[in-house]
Amino acid sequence: MSIEPQIRAWQSRFPALVDAKASVQRFVRRTLRLPFEAEFSLLSRWRPDPGEVFIDVGAHRGQSVDAIRLYQPDAPIYAFEPNVHLATGLATLFDDDPALAVYACGLSDKDEARRLYVPVYRGFVYDGLASFDPDQSRTWLSDETVAGFDPDRFEMMAGEARTFTLDMLDLDPGFIKIDAPGWFEAVLRGARETLERCRPLILMQSNADADRVLTSELGYTRAAFDGDRLRPGRQGRENTVYAPDERMGDLRRCGLWAG
């Protein structure tokens, strides 16, 4: 039986525990050199080409930045977070990192102002579930994901956020991580020229629509990371890595590609 619903029920009642939990988790991960998601450990053996950068779409509280820094401490990282409160906290947390640039905006397929929707339960703001798609934010919290869920204590908070396309920014990414609930496909469509030009590796939460764009339209191969190597043709349970043909040689030389 999963204990996650119980944990969410407790954090909704005692929100101060969340910041403490995040601080402890960050300390433990950095001390033990453990990335918050296993897929980032591939960066211990593979790195982008000189002049290429890392891009973190949906930077949240900096978990991905920390994971990248475990293996590549000086690499340029561009982090995008549409929640201004989180983006400000992220910039403060990493204020001593000169190779990190934090942008308080989201990436999409349009340059525009949008509404960012954040679910709130019992007064606790679930900022990690924020989305430009209100249905995505609305449906995640339920009696299946929160123990003793009371729908009368649930509400949606909406605020203004800015989005740009990755293609507008003229960056040369070698690695892109995407965490954009309900918005994965829009991020990719706004990055199409960049993806065709730079052919970066992509780490993304498993998503059927985005998978179709990457594999059918952009010629990427999906792969699941088994803790040691990438298994082509498979989709990960939570995250999937997408590799273009142009990166296969490097991945094989690093012993990361199982195909």
Domain definitions of the chain by residue range: 4-253
Report domain 4-253's class.
Answer: alpha beta
CA distances from 86 to 41, 119, 122, 255 (A): 25, 15, 20, 37
Count of residues for the chain?
A: 259
Q: What is residue 228's predicted lDDT score, i.e. its pLDDT? A: 95
pLDDT digits (tens, 9 = 90+) for 242-256: 999 999 999 999 999
Q: What is the pLDDT of residue 102?
A: 98
CA–CA dist 72, 224 (Å, integer): 22
151-204 pLDDT, tens digit per residue, is 888 888 888 999 999 999 999 999 999 999 888 999 999 999 999 999 999 999
User: Which pLDDT band holds residue 111 (cuts at 50, 70, 90)?
Assistant: very high
| More confident: 18 or 259 | 259
C-alpha separations of 85 from 11, 60, 188, 233 in Å: 19, 10, 25, 38
